[in-house]
Structure 1
């Protein structure tokens, strides 16, 4: 298991928007924790990373379900199938889509958390902190959505 071999948390950010990847990457770094952050910007990179999940198993995957050519909900199921249900990888949907039906669909397919992309950097840093520091074993269903009104 990567955590026993290395104390760094491994975080994968899969988003076609380079600015959004960069901002989330920077927000995570403000937490001053040992992270290895992998960035994925295309469908091909995502497919390649999923085919090698057993090599480097991330602790967290931030997945934008609206990447061009990507059926994001399919990838949630593919990740779950590849790593097995007993693994502790956390899948966070990271999207501008705040439709209730999309949020419900994400959870139905196996997402652990749904984050609507914040519109300012302060809220983005709060999102990063909430996800990384969350007690995943005891969080309740109401805590599984991050949305700033």
Structure 2
């Protein structure tokens, strides 16, 4: 079975955008445990359905692939947020990963509070919720330091 490699240090643009989204949305590593497990399980299912491990019985191949996927996901989840984001980007497109990060209404209100708090350091800050998935922030930086 060939699972994608982990490259948590990758400095590509999409990973940087996802890091920003996690900061704005208040996403924690705990929030990504299930999506990583699901993605690894889907990869195992694809490998199984493609006939991986033909030397094993059907049941043994299924169990082996899924066990390996769970172990792989556990290793990724132990490496925290950057590893989780990098893995999710390797097995999904950017928009799919961004959908995973889209906050629940509770996390969205927390993100708005964080932005409003940060906006105290800004002048001409305007923060408002556009819809369930979008926050609009327009601001001008001040010269103040904290």
TM-score range, shorter chain: under 0.3
Q: Which has the higher helix share?
A: 2
Per the normalisation by structure 2, the TM-score is: 0.22
Identify which of structures 1 and 2 has the higher relative contact order when contacts are C-alpha pairs closer than 8 Å and 6+ apart.
2
Larger radius of gyration: 2
Q: Which has the higher strand share?
A: 1
